[in-house]
Chain A
Amino acid sequence: MFVLAELKSTVKVHPSLFSKGLSDVAKFELNKKLANKVLHKIGLMISFREVVSFQDSSILPVDGSSHTDVIFRYIVFRPEIGSLLTGKIKSCARDGIYVTLGFFDDIFIPKDELQHPSRFEEAEQAWVWEYPVEGDEKHDLFMDVGETVKFRIIDEEFVESEPSGPPDNETSSSSTNPSTDHNSRPPYKIIGAINESGLGIESWWTQNEVVDDDDEDDDG
């Protein structure tokens, strides 16, 4: 789920900081610049890890600051497509389920990727897996907000942030208009699926298996 990315950036050090070590300043500046931000096609930047190397520093005649190219490694949240993640249900909507990890919450499980058959319960605003029992009977398994859900990552989407440009003539005074919402697409979004045995709410699978488990334990 986490990787180390190797990056190169120029770090500017103001003369007032010359007394501090270059590594400390670089670490501080790179965390200030990158922590908790999404880099396009890289992932969510968590924290500076280590310096690989410094290149020669140069001083420009403007303010006396030194500029140094630094090669460094950064801890990044970028789970692999196909891997499993566990999160909590943030909200349910007719089009699917939104999941959060706390530090990252642009995760969406589309309704077509839920256990089959599932239905959306309008009154409860929750998705329900209609688990077939004997005959025509079915057992309703609710997916409520706050429940822990295990899912597989099936896709990711990066959206490059673009300068917003001049406002449209008509919407210029409507910055609070909710219709502008769809412009703020998250820069990094994960698409998940729970349509396999073992995925979804954890208790769906543990309860059924407990009996088998106990039998085996008795043998050993």
Chain B
Amino acid sequence: MEILNPKYQVLSNLEVLMALREIKDQKLSQGARNLATITYETIQYLENTPCKDQSEINLLKFITEVKQFNKLTKSEVLSMVNEPPSLPLHIQLIVEDLEERLTESQVDELIQLSKKYLIPSTHDSRHE
């Protein structure tokens, strides 16, 4: 085994959930017990996280709309996708030196975007 790149790409929880569901839908032959176990357990975990209600389209919309802030790093955006903020406190946990980088209204806007695209269950968007 040779390691070429330990972190070729980061994945969002949703991407992993979709990939694992695909594996689960295929019939796993015998000898794939470890794969079956880890797939099952990881799906169980992910289905209890916000990514279960997310969709690729909504993630893309979130990422696009968040670009307007022009101040968030990629890893901060990924953290928001995986641990969607619903309170200013959550944003403070993700964004370092928050007060110097975002205004209060930008924080509120971020929370609205997060509720709309990342945790749709908390956001009533029926009128849209």
Contact = CB atoms under 8 A, between A and B. Distances in A.
Chain B contact surface mostly: helix
A103 B32 CA distance: 16
A86 B49 contact: yes
A196 B93 contact: yes
A23 interface: no
A18 interface: no
B34 A205 contact: no
A73 B93 CA distance: 31
A198 B89 contact: yes
Contacts of B93: 84, 152, 196-199
Kindly state the interface size class of chain A when it binds its partner: 35 or more
A133 interface: no
Contact of A103 (B38, B87, B89): B38
Contact of B9 (A3, A46, A206): A3
Interface in B72-123: 75, 79, 82-83, 87, 89-90, 92-94, 108
Interface string A37-62: 10101111111010000000000000
A42 B3 contact: yes
A197 B4 CA distance: 39
A185 B88 CA distance: 39
Given A5-B7, A103-B41, A36 B1 contact: no
From B2, B4, B38, residue with most partner A Cβ within 10 Å: B38
